[in-house]
Structure 1
């Protein structure tokens, strides 16, 4: 976690998924109550060294190492936390002092602290040990959501591949030689990672689906999940079929390794200096993409996972149990583990970092691998990740777009920088403005009519042939666009770079402030196309409105990402 990301969380304040603790007199016992309550609910972030208000007070630097050691010891002690949790306290430098951040994922199991069950509600950790109904609800919720944790009573150790345990130990040793699993027995590894577990609500005990996926033989996996497969393809010349292809129906360790080898075979390496070391940027980037593809898949679904390399992008899709529908904002999202027990192994191998880091790292490394490119993560029943290998944005068309919308010249410089973040379909890179506009207008209409709060006019001309019949359409968009559509697109364009309300109204020529908010700004905010720069303080005199990632997708007419 960066200092910038920490600041965002501190400003958000305590809530269901974030907790602050001063920790001036040592590690407070309430830390572990919060760890357990987050594990039992939806996960969260704990910041040690901050007051309840979010004000950083810091931790004495000479005590940081002792704090970290104490936390790790308590989390790995069955007498304290049961089942134990393998979490890594992270020291983050803040301008007002050093703090310790603990990212706690939601768990597929119910956890206790000193034999008490805690549940997170609002900003409180509630002891629900005696509330059998609530405890039972937690067990039921976890069984339904985490399919990886399903117990198979007749799945035995003989159905697993003993050689994979040795391979796992070798991978772990290469990344963290002191990790306890390096010297643990096969059975210990399974139990400590919750791949062998007991359901205390039913008394059922045994190996889980995750155990089969990580350590099972190919026959075992196919018997449990007959439709399961992962496909990787190259479509550069033959776009209808493929130039190269592999189909995998094997364990997740070998699946990850083979997918990385496929990427290395078909994409160029690029070296990068990180922390004084020379690293393969391609590997840093795609270990995150492939890690997300394998770890976050919903394995109870019959649809295959896919990785496809096109001339201009790498696209991955996998079946998913979505928490919401829409694009993921890298600096403003709450990560949620889809398969926390599988993730434990990928983290131990060094293939994934802390929860939520994948999205941030892909943004970080792609910006170097393909300058100007922005990845896209879209949460839906099919989770979609797009990594551009070529870049096209609206920025080169800033002046033409402003003139087409009949906005004042002074707005050109304002929006130009922001339009660099509005990424177009790379096939449109060589288009003229006329060609681009004839694609944008139908795309806007297709997306706009699906977003009910926008009240998108159904009579808007959107058929490409009919568009060209409108006199002066390619020079003057006000002759083509319905008045409401014109206002909506103008606002989206002007907020590509954050702008004040008065500034937007001035450029558009609108004088009724209350009506403007109600008729245009509020629907755009309701549909998450535009947001305030400081939503916590609506009356902030420096308040501006900015285009969201979903809004950028709208403006770029990326219809496949705005379903």
Structure 2
């Protein structure tokens, strides 16, 4: 029987990854809403036999071993009933009965559901029984959110659909010629360069033979890549591409490029190359020669291209608000409709490529734009770290309009001006990853002797009381999640105290002589 540390329990708060339920009279109905919400958002832990005090901390309610085991059995019986829950996500080891001071606790680890199983819903009702997590609460998803999850379920990517009501003659032929010129330069010697336009477009995936009439028609990916805005919007009414440049605060936009203005095609290919040139101007280019020729394509230029391409590959073009790329003096921001299919953590780690628009990715990769191996975003992070710039920030916003946002700061001392709640939620996501993966070890960590890394953290915050978790992480060379865990341990040991709010407060190092941190 594992032991549950009640001291550690008292330091927890309900957030977007932890939910406490007293469950004294059996499994609460609201638990299944939380199960659905965790499965459709980031995953999380449901604690049964625990209640929340008025100050937000947790305490056990005194479940007996028999009651706890009964709850565990009831959970498995209910979650296995498809009329109650649409997907069984936890495995046996992820539903634990733990011993705590004052009673037993049942900990149910609910993983984020694979996209093939989302939305996870309850009571056999897709539209009334699908939930997501926001802050400390569960909310019922809108039809728009549910539709977005259903679009993501398929094994084929969104852009593979064949459009029987269009022909390749509807493509913007100036865009096709520009693409072929780049392909010819990059793929010298390819047998495809000698094909006529129709065969070439079929070879790269921009067109396919329809099963309905046996004729060649554009794919949705081909339309996005080579079509005209008016045809794309007819197929996808919410489609919109927008580049906003604000270099002078007195002027709303110092430059803007957007689809639908009638001045250019409005397709992805032309948007990418128009915007990439403008973004390149925001980067400092060191003087470097390759023989007698100047080299202007730095790792940062390549990273920005990757960020822009990744935004276009992963956008849900049926979602609202479209793709937005913003340039200001101190940052670049890439926003696309749709959540992250692999999740923030996997996107950051790389190694798994699961784009919404696989044909668009293929067509760009054939002209050496974009990384198909799933390492594009990690390369962006590595490039920014090597340049000594703040770590790129990935945000995933759920709600009426799911959005993925990547922010690249251009100045070493710049601070992202994100909403404080988003910042709090993102820190909770990072810290909870390690809490969930090795929960029991953390729960028993308070009584261990502090480590050398924790001593370094104490020295650092003593000299820099206003330090953030990111500052500490850079100082000791570990992740922000690890530093946050260390800080919680130090707070629990009485060595560290947070005074004031998360945003405006500061750290105090306490009792250092008694604990020999020097």
TM-score tier, shorter chain, comes to: 0.3 to 0.5
- Structure with the bigger RCO (C-alpha within 8 Å, sep 6+) is 2
